[in-house]
A and B are shown apart, each in its own frame.
Chain A
Amino acid sequence: MDKSKIRTDLSTLFNKVFKCGEIEITDTLTAADVERWDSLSHLTMVSEVEKHFGIRFKLKELTGMKNTGELVQLIADKTG
């Protein structure tokens, strides 16, 4: 899937989970930048991403993920 489309969809999902408004999904965006982004909301977001894109992450993929750029790349790899 095209990365710009992934970013647009993520912006909507992030707003739904983190209630942060429509934010720009940059590659360097991390939990430290979004107020309601904690353990609970992170795993809720992951679950929403899995449902929306029809993919499944491995736990080690999640622990290795450093920022939103890596999330976008993982989604792109998995959706082909």
Chain B
Amino acid sequence: MIQFTDRIAEQLNSGGEKTACVINEVHYSYAEFGANVAGIQNRIQRTGGEHIGIITQNTAGTYACLLAAWLTGKAYVPINAGYPEGRISSILADSGISDVFYSTDDNSIALLKKAFPSIQFHCTSELRGQRCFNIGAPANRTAYILFTSGTTGKPKGVPITFGNIQAFLDGFENMGYSVGPQDRFLQMFELTFDLSVVCFTVPLMFGGSFHTLPDGMIKTLALYHVLDEQKITFSLMVPSAIQLLMPYLDDIELPDLRYSQFCGEALKLDVVKKWAKCIPNARIDNVYGPTEATIYCSCLTINPRKAENLHHNGIMGIGKPMLKTQVLISGTGEHEESNLGELCLTGEQVTPGYILNEEQNGRSFFEHEGVRYYRTGDLVFQDENGQLFYVGRADDQVKIQGYRVELSEIEVATAKILPRNQAVAVGFQHADQGWQLALFVENLQTDGDELRTKLAKHLPDYMVPHQVLSVEEMPLNNNGKTDKKLLRQLAAKAAEE
């Protein structure tokens, strides 16, 4: 039974002058935000198609549009106008989108209109209505589609249904949080990143508010500014967001923060211990999950005084599965550590499967004893108490600021620019700046920065390698394969210089 859209519609219609969101430091009441949602709903009803594209702008209108889509029973597909045109074209085609909504006219919108003349663009800033209504979408209908990095160079579309979201929210409510109208949620994520969904959905279900980072500020500093000035009570962040604040932790005290969740990347024990001192009244949770299993699906609550017992090699555990998730650890016994295996997920949070990609569906989903599982590619082990511990990846995927990056997607993009030069991308850990990307190219004749600029025309910003390095020949290991371990070491060394 889908309840979350009913609860959001009720809050939007009855919230009155209470703050629904603070965007760019401007407060929007439930009444004005709800009127915008209602107006957009009227427009969406007049469009065809099950899916609508939404340009991700840091405006109240963008969020109003996401909610209007849901309440009208449609799926939204977030589109970052700064993405390369080829990527946007692929997203629009794969999702079957004919209508795109945006809230503020700017240069990027003008370029999109020119590039995609067959798409109907709708500006939502002036749309107002009397009252929000909820169509009541069935559980198996798609609520959003996100595109993640694909190994073949083409992004994979992950559809998440209304039922998947409801299962996530049932799990969330079972985690023991006491959330109410007094809560102020941080929303620091780009809307193409699924962690954003929990940050605006949950507060609106409870009559609370969500708060985005102001434009024009350095992101890390804006994060601290909002946490502090807007007295955030619930935050979900990627660990790398506070990694950069580490030198200034002595200056940080956030007594209003009640819940501090981390997701998207490995959370280090030493970071938890230091962060805990800044948030004396908060519960710290490390949550885990791939986009395919809806936002996150396991949780570890960390008592900083006992954190020593809940890590593996300095990386915090990922806890136990949430209410509507079950796990299987596949292939144990194949690795040096006998209990290590690939984490496979099942339950109501798991996506029906990638859109238009049967080949990938065949690789990523399988049946075991009549139950359908999703292979995460994450290597884990489970201790005697049922706690899961992340150890590494079974493949070449890396996480950059929480975004999944398939290294071969960078290599495919490089081959389009330099078809004759062999190129290998690696992810490496910078001493104090977290994970970074490096691209090694054989006999690179052009300037590395020039290649980076060209790659930015094919790849989103976070996938453009931080460094481009030339090698005479790719080094090989004893098995005759590219020696990626050596390349990672070379990249880390070059980054230090």
Contact = CB atoms under 8 A, between A and B. Distances in A.
Interface stretch (B29-37, B217-225, B412-420): B217-225
Interface string A28-72: 001110000011101110010000000000111011000000000
A38 B251 contact: no
19 contacts: A31-B218, A32-B216, A38-B218, A39-B218, A39-B219, A39-B221, A42-B218, A42-B221, A43-B244, A43-B247, A58-B251, A59-B245, A59-B248, A62-B221, A62-B248, A63-B217, A63-B222, A63-B224, A63-B225
Give the dominant DSSP class at B's interface.
Answer: helix
Interface string A6-48: 0000000000000100000000001110000011101110010
A59 B244 contact: no
B251 A60 contact: yes
A41 to B, nearest CB: 9
A40 B217 contact: no
Give the interface size class of chain A.
Answer: 10 to 19
Contact of A39 (B220, B225, B252): B220
A58 B247 CA distance: 10
Contacts of B248: 58-59, 62
A43 B449 CA distance: 21
B433 interface: yes
Contacts of B225: 63
Interface of B: 216-222, 224-225, 244-245, 247-248, 251-252, 433, 449
Nearest to B241: A39
A72 B220 CA distance: 21
A24 B457 CA distance: 29
Given A19-B449, A39-B244, A63-B221, 13 more contacts: A30-B216, A38-B218, A39-B218, A39-B219, A42-B221, A43-B247, A44-B433, A59-B245, A59-B248, A59-B252, A62-B248, A63-B217, A63-B225
Contacts of B221: 39, 42, 59, 62-63
A39 B240 CA distance: 11
Contacts of A40: 244, 433
Nearest to B223: A39
The 8 A-B pairs with the shortest beta carbon distances in the complex, nearest first, are A59-B251, A59-B248, A39-B220, A39-B219, A42-B218, A63-B225, A63-B221, A43-B244
Nearest to A40: B433
Nearest to A46: B247
B247 A38 contact: no
A68 to B, nearest CB: 13
Contacts of B218: 31, 38-39, 42-43
Contacts of B216: 30, 32
A38 B219 contact: yes
A71 to B, nearest CB: 12
A32 B244 CA distance: 20
A43 B244 CA distance: 7
A47 B432 CA distance: 12
B374 to A, nearest CB: 32
B220 A42 contact: yes
A5 to B, nearest CB: 25
A65 to B, nearest CB: 8
B275 to A, nearest CB: 14
B74 to A, nearest CB: 34
A74 to B, nearest CB: 14
A46 to B, nearest CB: 9
A59 B217 CA distance: 14
A47 B247 contact: yes
Contacts of A60: 251
A42 B217 CA distance: 11
Contacts of A58: 248, 251
A58 B248 CA distance: 7
Nearest to A31: B218
A14 to B, nearest CB: 14
B230 to A, nearest CB: 13
B40 to A, nearest CB: 30
A62 B219 CA distance: 12
A73 B223 CA distance: 24
Contacts of A32: 216
Contacts of B251: 58-60
Nearest to B434: A40
A40 B434 CA distance: 10
Contacts of A59: 221, 224, 245, 248, 251-252
A42 B224 CA distance: 15
A43 to B, nearest CB: 5
A31 B222 CA distance: 13
Contacts of A62: 221, 248
